[in-house]
Amino acid sequence: MDTDNQTSTVTTEKEIIDIVAKQHEYFKSGATKSYQSRIDNLKKLKSALIKYEGEMHAALKQDLGKPEFESFLSETGFCVHDISTTLSKLKGWMKPKFKLTSLLTQPGTSRVVYSPLGVNLIIAPYNYPVMLTFAPLIAAIAAGNTAVIKTSELTPACSAIIRKIINETFAAEYIVHIEGEVNETTILLQQKFEHIFFTGSPRVGSIIMAAAAKNLTPVTLELGGKSPCIVHQDAKLDIAVNRIVSSKFLNAAQTCVAPDYVLVHKAVKEEFLSKLKDRIITVYGEDASTSPDFARIISDNHFQRICGLIDQQKVTVGGQSNAETRFIAPTVMRDVTLTDKIMSDEIFGPVLPVLEYDDIDEIYSIVDQLPHHPLACYIFSEDSNFQKEIVNNIQSGGACINNCIFHAANHHIPFGGVGESGMGAYHGFDGFECFSHKKGVLKTATWIEIPLTYAPYGNKINLLRKIMK
């Protein structure tokens, strides 16, 4: 496969139409389907990610003010580890999975064969531009597909290095990066893909789904939602506070699975709030704008939106901001109610509202009244019955017990939303499966002929009833 032909960016409508057509032709050639092809391309991508790690970290710093540690943990290191896991497991994933064969279809054998979907469109967001571009791409390659990549116009530095990596590593008929904004995305959505993978907001997700419906294109939507963090009265508060602060303010809380709000039992609310304030100051200092470990808001529009959610009369720590640097301090608001503006939608910024509850029914009532199914639910408690009760009764995409967000870092369990927070799941084998068609195959023996289902039927129905009861 010649990778020297991908030297310019693809932006015009004709170029987009041509490259999608070429990807369809390339996929039909079968070049992407073999185990060796998948392995070789994953290895090339891994080498490129390692080679350009420093440039990616610099781009993440430029676009999001992201500390190098966070860039490695949640972006570059995550992707390299994802490829390593995939390389070690792919042969087993590709093997047909044998299933039971029903009595009616005997004698025979049954299996599920995983076949690649074809040409995929992957639309990545701004908040984790490296990880949320390459993680689905890794799955697409592992499953034997081609892919068109569209990154966010809000992260120009990251888009430039992603484009550089893709251009140097792959031919455009296999993997291609497309620049642009709404117009280019609109043109892309008018093309025929076998699958669209989108990460972003529920609002845009509905637009993607409507566009995909015109071509009957299946979609995977990784969206957002107001993810509750429940701190029960028996929680180990020091541990809870450490983990909530770390996960909430990672990437300045521009994280789809960040705890959106805390529901704390009224018996421990004051102690929790005191420890929360102390921990934020310990981690980020009295003036978080000078901390080397705190990111910035992606754009002026998002900065203004988040600032508009803060009720300074309810702020117990933080509340400062700087429009010039798009800095918003790690902020906690206390005594928040469902009528406060900050509870009207996903925050996606470093403001943590704290509400109190008295019993478990109050938890359910609060969660049910908020928009969207939560993408995640976090439970801090030492009571296994309470943990089980919450997991079983709050419908969320995923959950963590005595931690936050790290379920998304485990490649051995699926990651995805439910309802308004998304559809479909990926990571690890679930990512391979997401970009594959599960083809059911029945092989019937020829050493005997059983004419049960052949006409004339006569009184065969009596035997059929016994078999199918």
Q: Helices in 287-439 by DSSP H: which ranges?
A: 300-307, 360-369, 384-393, 428-434
Closest to 45 (Cα-Cα) out of 71, 66, 76: 76
SS3 label, residue 261? strand
**CA 414 to CA 196: how far, in whole Å?**
18
Phi and psi torsions of 185, nearest 5°: -65, -40
Cis check: omega of the bond before 228, within 30 degrees of 0: no
Q: Is the dihedral of CA 351, 357, 360, 364 positive or negative?
A: negative
Q: Are strands 108-116 and 97-99 parallel, antiparallel or unpaired?
A: antiparallel
Judge whether 82 and 259 are in contact, CB under 8 Å.
Answer: no
How distant is the alpha carbon of residue 216 from its chain centre? 22
**CA 414 to CA 462: how far, in whole Å?**
45
Closest to 231 (Cα-Cα) out of 413, 95, 380, 351: 380
256 part of the active site: yes
> Which residues 6+ apart lie within 8 Å of 197 measured at CB?
120, 121, 122, 123, 136, 140, 219, 220, 222, 426, 434, 435
The catalytic residue among 79, 158, 229, 256 is 256
- Half-sphere exposure (CA, 13 Å, Cβ side) for 149? 33
DSSP string, 181-206: SHHHHHHHHTS--SEEEEES-HHHHH
Closest to 379 (Cα-Cα) out of 369, 365, 368, 394: 394
400 part of the active site: no
The catalytic residue among 53, 173, 194, 222 is 222
Active-site residue list? 222, 256
